[in-house]
Amino acid sequence: NAFFLETSGNGKFLNIRQACAVESLAFHNPNLTVNVLFMMDNTAIHSNGINSKVLPAETNIEKLREKYTNIEFITLNLDDYVAGTLLEKWYHCNDWRRGPYHVAHLSDGLRLLTLHKYGGYYFDLDIIFVRRVTYYHNFVSAEASNGLCNNAIHVDYGHPVIQLAVRDFPLHYRKEAWTHNGPDLLMRVMKTFCGEENLSKMYYITCRGFNVLPMLTFNSLHYSRWKDLFSQRPTNETRAPSWISKEIVGVHIWNKLSYNETAYKNSTQEYVRLVRDNCPVT
């Protein structure tokens, strides 16, 4: 199983970029069940069970459903989803909703809870996959030489790393800190699990079969270079971008920074090239 989470509560729809992330994973991994979980709180759920507002972006879901048998779209009630879990008290009693990053922090917690419940892969909705991911198991990915990222995770069901993580989240939660409850949490957990303080010493042996994948795997493009994805290339350049090496599994497009950037259909932008090669339906 693989999981994407849509936590905005705006309804059961995907925009173009999100649809591409989902499709590219399903496209390159036909034997993987790709679950898209729409997390809805009670304010967004009507008596019929879901927000019934019709949006044009819903057609993205219909197109993917018609083409791919390995994609599942599932709507969940958040109250039910956290009931009886380690996040239930945090969700109902903590003042996390008043924090400046409350939507991101909800996503930080729910990805850990989902992997704790089911095991498998979690990915952010702003990754375009360029090849199979199922070769990799039990991992987190590095974002820099001294830091982790929580945009791509795999754990076997019941793995102690995810057990440590889902306990750490409510225990050390800080609403005012952007990365404290996400990448920094993973670093705290890995230091404990691996018995190492230095990220460069966290690998398969020291971490008892758990892996820290190198930056190239999912975060080859540093966030400071996100604009490179939208720059026009010479029209006679038809090859794949030079930085797309065989070590790269997915390209993180940093949607928090790039969401307002225009992508031009049939252009030579690297983002458009990635979409064309890996998201045929989208």
* Digit-coded pLDDT (tens) for 113-171: 999 999 999 999 999 999 999 999 999 999 988 899 999 999 999 999 999 999 999 99
pLDDT tens per residue across span 49-96: 444 344 455 688 999 999 999 999 999 999 999 999 999 999 999 899
Q: Per the domain annotation, does 86 fall within a domain?
A: yes
Residue 227 lies in a domain: no
Let me know if residue 252 belongs to a domain: no
- Residue 164 maps to which CATH number? 3.90.550.20
Q: Which amino acid is at 54?
A: V
What does the alpha-carbon distance between residue 263 and residue 226 come to, in Å, rounded to a whole number? 13
Q: Is 221 exposed, middle or buried (0-12, 13-18, 19+ CB in 10 A)?
A: buried
Residue 239 lies in a domain: no
Structural domain that includes position 131: 2-45+56-216
Amino acid at 81: Y
| Dist. CA 21–CA 271, nearest whole Å | 12
Tokens 């996400």 identify what position?
182
Is residue 144 assigned to a domain?
A: yes
92 in a domain, yes or no?
yes
Residue 229 lies in a domain: no
Q: How far apart are CA 41 and CA 48, in angstroms?
A: 14
| Residue the block writes with tokens 């989208």 | 282
Which among 27, 253, 38 has a CA at the least distance from the CA of 133?
A: 27
Q: How many domains does the chain fold into?
A: 1
